[in-house]
């Protein structure tokens, strides 16, 4: 089990998220951590770009928990998808998922993932952009996928770590974990910068 060095200045690692996907990803680093949901308003600001949105929300999630956990190292992350300049949200329902998949069929979707590591004395930040080229999908393929793997809580209406990978022509990314919701390459770098031995 990892012990936090005294010079690090923090006593625990907190994931500012209630997402099981992010918790599973952070668990890969074999660090002791505690997930705590950060209840903030995630609405985009007027004319805010998707890149700026995830950068702001990642920081706000971590800072929100800083108030009640002043000596912790807090990981905040947020992801949003865009089709051109348009934000793509989580569909929430089967009907919306079908519509979203129809819209992105044959097109390229950008997934922006923000990351903030809030330490007692500073904030370290990173950002990732992953592009997904969706193949041209028939109505039957879309319905078959949605029924087999309902991804109503995922922007883009698919799970790349599951059956959804079959919907793509290509993925272009510096970090394959970013598309799932937490860029572990960048996070490992930030944690090392904070004084932790990773791996």
- Report yes or no: 121 and 72 within 8 Å, Cβ to Cβ: no
DSSP 8-state class, residue 44? P
Return d(Cα 46, Cα 96) in angstroms, integer. 23
Element (H, E) at 139: helix 139-148
Which H or E run includes 78? strand 73-83
Are the C-beta atoms of residues 178 and 128 closer than 8 Å to each other?
Answer: yes
Closest Cα partner for 185 from 172, 199, 171? Answer: 199
Active-site residues, by number, are 78
CA triple 124-50-105, angle to 5 deg: 130
Q: Say if residues 67 and 47 touch (Cβ distance below 8 Å).
A: no
What is the crossing angle of helices 184-193 and 20-27, to 10°?
Answer: 60
CB 112 within 8 A of CB 174: no
């Amino acid at each position: 089990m990892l012990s936090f060095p005294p010079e690090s200045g923090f006593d625990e690692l907190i994931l500012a998220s209630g997402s099981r996907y992010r918790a599973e990803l952070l668990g890969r680093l074999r660090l002791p951590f505690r997930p705590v949901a950060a209840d903030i308003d995630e609405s985009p600001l007027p004319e805010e770009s998707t890149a700026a949105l995830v950068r702001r929300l990642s920081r706000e999630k971590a800072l929100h928990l800083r108030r009640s956990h002043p000596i912790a190292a807090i990981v905040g992350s947020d992801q949003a998808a865009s089709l051109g300049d348009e934000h793509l949200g989580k569909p929430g329902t089967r009907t919306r998922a079908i519509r979203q998949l129809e819209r992105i069929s044959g097109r390229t979707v950008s997934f922006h993932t923000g990351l903030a590591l809030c330490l007692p004395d500073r904030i370290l930040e990173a950002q990732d952009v992953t592009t997904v080229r969706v193949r041209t999908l028939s109505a039957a393929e879309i319905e078959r996928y949605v029924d087999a793997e309902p991804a109503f809580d995922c922007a883009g209406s698919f799970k790349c770590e599951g059956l959804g990978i079959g919907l793509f022509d290509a993925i272009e990314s510096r970090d394959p974990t970013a598309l799932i919701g937490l860029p572990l390459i960048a996070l490992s770098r930030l944690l090392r910068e904070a004084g932790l031995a990773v791996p």
